[in-house]
Every structure is written in C-alpha cells, then in structure tokens.
Amino acid sequence: MAILATSPEPVVLEHSGLSLRHTFSCGQCFRFVPEGDGYAGVAMGRPLFLKQQGSQTLFYCSKEEFEALWRGYFDLDRDYEPAHRLLAQDSYTKAAMEFGHGLRLLRQEPWETLCSFLISQCNNIPRIQAIIDALCRLCGEPVEYGGRTFYAFPTPEAVARQGLESLASIRAGYRAKYILSAAQRITAGVSLERIAAMETEEARRAVMEFDGVGRKVADCFLLFGAHKWDVFPVDTWMKKAAPHHGGQADGRGFGKVAGLAQQYIFYYARESAKKY
C-alpha cells in the first residue's frame, strides 16, 4: 500500500491492550476507516496509518509525533482496570465489555466533536462519515502523507467563511445551519476549550446554548470532546439497552465511569442488532 511504502519506521507498541477495531468501530469517532490491513484517518490535523499484528500496534509516524499527539489521543496513559472491575459487577455490562475489549475512549478535539455530533442527529453512521468527509474536503487543509492527500478537519473560521449554499454541497440537510451557526459563534469569541474545562453541569448548560445542541449532542461533546467520564449520552440504542443492565436508563448507577460504560453498551447493543 502506498502509505506504508513511504512511511518512516513505525512506532511499535507491545501488549497495549488496545483494540483498533473496537476503538474505531464503536461509534465515538468518524474519521478513522479501514485501509489495507489497518486503519487510516486524521486527527488534530495529522494523518495517521496504523495497524495491529499479534500483540503489536504499529503507528506510522515519528516517535516525537507519537509522544506529542497519539499517546494522548488514544488515552494510553490511563489505567482502565479499575473501571473494568466496576463494570464487571453487572452481567450485561460485563458481556458488553468482553465484546468490545480493548476499546479506548479517544481524547478528541472539542470543535471536531461538537460538529460531528451536530451532524449525527437523526442520521446513520455511514452517512455521518460521508458528510464529515465532504466537509473536510470542502474547507479542510490538505495534508500530504504516504503519497496521498488527506484533509484536516476544518477550523471554525474556515467553516464560518462558507455560506449556507456552499455547505449544502455536503448534504447535511437541516444540520448545515447548526454547523454554520456553531462556527460563527466560536469565531465570535465563544471558546469550546473553556467550556470543556468547566464542571460537567456548567459545561453542559454552556454547550446547550449552541443552536441545534440538545441534551444528547451536548453529552457526546462532554464525553468525547471534553473527556468527562461521568457523562452518559442517551440515544435510541441506550434506551433499547436500558432494561438489560443495572446502571439505570440515565447511567447514574455507573458513577464516574458512566461514559466508558455507555460506549461499551452502545457498541454491544448496535452490533448485536445487526445479526438479526
């Protein structure tokens, strides 16, 4: 594959406990897709190809870049064991956890997360991916990597420069005005980083001031873009799964690891449903 041929020696991680498949398929992020025998995607403006063989995970980037960006992005410095022990006490979350073993909660950027989940509303995952990809191609910075051109997620400024007519080309439907409005709000001075740094309740209130952001999108922003593990986004899948686990419909029973529980349950419920 072209990417491999021109990449430097990869950074190799042994026995990290990380599963790329579960981490990228569980629905938390939309920009890493299967590529050859691994995955390719862009985050924080940097493209990356990575793959797993045996007990090894191979990151095709420099050691410096791995330490500066990807170690944090994959949340590799956090010990998931205490959370796993807690979730193993409930038979349903235990099964969900075994199903999605190796899933890591990515530390995604606030703006990309907010935008992605604005697009997610009343939409399915393949189409969410297609719309985000179209948005990046429309106004994201091109970045060369492994002989190919990738597109960074556009900045709020770049999105704000697009008119509603231009944004119509990404086929986001009624969500386009929410994306534009959010971009304008941020370029006018509202800081998502500042909101992400607030306590959960205050941050939730602040992000819900954005047009098109209700409780669900706000909670996805808090969990995936602000890395607040006590947040439990409730969507149609979580409502379906609620009768089966002991964490209550709003996830209160899972306490400070509710977010991780949510991701295991969401992934498990959705993948199980595909079989029928």
Partner DNA sequence: GTCCAGGGTCCCA
Partner DNA sequence: TGGGACCCTGGA
To the nearest whole angstrom, how small is the minimum distance from the Cβ of residue 164 to DNA? 10
* DSSP letters for 204-230: HHHHTTSTT--HHHHHHIIIIIS--TT
Cβ-contact 12, 53 below 8 angstroms: no
Phi, psi of 202 (to 5 degrees): -65, -40
Tokens of 9: 């020696």
Each residue 144-183 as x (binds DNA by CB under 7 A) or -, in order, gives: ------------------------x--xxxxx-x------
125 contributes a contact to DNA by CB under 7 A = yes
Stretch that binds DNA, among 63-71, 73-81, 185-193, 209-217 (CB under 7 A): 209-217
**Residue closer to DNA, measured from CB, 145 or 210:** 210
E strands, the chain, are 11-14, 32-35, 38-43, 46-53, 56-59, 142-145, 148-151
Q: Which is nearer to DNA, 48 or 132 (CB)?
A: 132
Q: Which stretch binds DNA (CB under 7 A): 70-78, 89-97, 208-216, 244-252?
A: 208-216
Nearer to DNA, 94 or 216 (CB): 216
Angle of CA points 113, 116, 119, to nearest 5°: 150
The yes or no reply on residue 124 touching DNA (CB under 7 A) is: yes
Assign 4 to helix, strand or coil. Answer: helix
Residue of 63, 94, 177, 216 marked catalytic: 216
From residue 9, how far is each of 4, 62, 74, 179 by CA, in Å?
Answer: 9, 8, 20, 39
Site string for DNA, 243-272 (x = CB under 7 A): -------------------xx--x---x--
Nearest approach in angstroms of CB 100 to DNA is: 12
Known catalytic residue: 216? yes
Strands (DSSP E) contained in 114-213 are: 142-145, 148-151
Q: Is 108 an interacting residue with respect to DNA (CB under 7 A)?
A: no
Count of residues near DNA by CB under 7 A: 38
Check residue 205 for interaction with DNA (CB under 7 A): no
Would residue 171 be called left, alpha or beta, if left means φ above 0 and alpha means ψ between -120 and 50 degrees?
A: left
Does 212 engage in binding with DNA (CB under 7 A)? yes
The yes or no reply on residue 78 touching DNA (CB under 7 A) is no
What minimum distance in Å lies between the beta carbon of 170 and DNA? 9
Nearest to 220 by CA among 26, 18, 9: 26
First vs last Cα of the chain: how many Å apart? Answer: 35
Answer for the pair 153, 42: CB distance below 8 angstroms, yes or no: yes
226 binds DNA (CB under 7 A): no
CB of 172 to DNA, least distance (A): 7
Residues designated as active site: 216
Residues in contact with DNA by the rule CB under 7 A: 26-28, 120-128, 168, 171-175, 177, 208, 211-218, 220, 233, 235-238, 262-263, 266, 270
